[in-house]
Chain A
Amino acid sequence: MTNTETRDAEEKRQETVPMVKEATVKDDGRFLFYYSFPSTSNAAVKAEQEDKNV
């Protein structure tokens, strides 16, 4: 695999992973990252269940 092919594969992977990262800083200065997966996040699943219950 050439460098260009490797780079292409890398870009393709990044483009297609449905993941959202939210970076925050805690009160004591430590970093904290929330990773969520829009189609299947806990919050999304709960919202879907609530919709079904209505």
Chain B
Amino acid sequence: MGDKNERLDVKGMALADGPRWLVQDLTFSVGPGSVHMLLGERDTGKTAILEALAGRRKLERGTLLAPAPAALVPQPAGSAQIRVLDRLILHRQPKRMGMFIHWKQAREEAKALAARFALDGLLDVPVETLRPLERRLLELAASLADQPALLLLDEPTSELGPHEARHFLATIRRVASEEKIPAVITSAFPRDAYPDAEAVTILWRGAEPVTVTTHECSEGTLVERWTGGLGIRRTPSGHHTPGEPLLRIEDLVLRGRGRETSLAGLEFEVKAGEVLAIVGAPADGLNLLHDVLLGSRSPEQGSMQFLGKEMILSTRRHRVESGISFVNPPHARDQAIPEFTIEENLILGQITGPPFARKGFLRHDSIRGNAVRTLRDFEIPEAEANHRFRQLKLGDRQRVIVAREVLRNPVLMVARSPAQGLSLAAQEYVRRALVLQCERGSGLLWLTEEPEEAMRVADRLAVLAAGRFVWIPVTETLTREMIIDEMSGAAA
């Protein structure tokens, strides 16, 4: 058991990764029962700081007084094919004769632990069927099995919708308070600091960190201070005039897997030249709707007409060849091949004929020319056509993918959280590139779990909650809270 009621004190901490400084002159303090947030984009040293606080990384400079032992909950990983019960006792099983697991006692202990997070009814459920929020609660519960004196969570809200994130952060605050231990979380969303974190340390690349308290700094001020105003722009180039209907979905019904919410008769249409944004939590039907649009799942009922043709049973290839283009989240594994070169990734799905192939053979001069022009036109100067895709930063990878899809000049684009996890500049770039394509006459269907993102791009906006749509007019008075209320209210 660790020492409770101890403070976490960091003074002048510096961390390095080889010759590169990850963070310098970091100073903050967290009292027992308090939550502290580290706010920063990718690659600003957030994970390294947590590793240092957990004693897993050496300090280059500074002092660290951290209660031990620390529980470090890593970023969400792939779902495990084990039961909730197994996950809870994974690192600490009551033994019988020192050899065999005492299952009765293990179940009792796991049940008591799970009950603190309302997971006790799910002990025999496979982890992979849990909703994202339940998975994060499970990881939090599992981390408490060793009774830590310091709680560290790395980007715990990255997979959660806003209302789920708020629920989870309130739970962290409750746990920290009950256990009388300090908690430190990392995040790329300023909203995560409110209302449960006491203070926020803002991290930038190549600049000194700054710590502010949430009492002295409102959420809007925090965003301004972090981004310099970049991240609060609205629609990149104004509203667009809708044209003829391109995609019409009617009476879409699909049963969810595990604890996913089913789609209960969705109806909508996307017109040429407009951006329809659909906001929702992944498990509230957003993933299911995306699967249906991709053609990877067939609904039990309903129709999907694209340019007047029924496509509900068609393959993804047929949909792409008909003029639909898909841009998925940057970390999605199905939109690029990391080991291929950039020029090869730029022609994925386009090699059935000219200009990139002829008589069954690739035309390498055409492929290279396409890559060079694309990298120049889409302002990706650090990349070379023959570089491996995996050598690119996440933001540049997504730029390459957006460029590939935009250059197809599709009739309709379906974007699913295309800027998730990117740096602010890359987020803005991706949004602008997609919306500009919409201004050229394409329709744009934007699926996201981020209300802010939807507000920035949408001409029309629907909230997907409990498998149904709630339409919200896009006006100057629309606020993020209105969207979150619709998501949360329906979810409750």
Q: Do A and B make up one complex?
A: no
Residues of B at the A interface (CB closer than 8 Å) are none
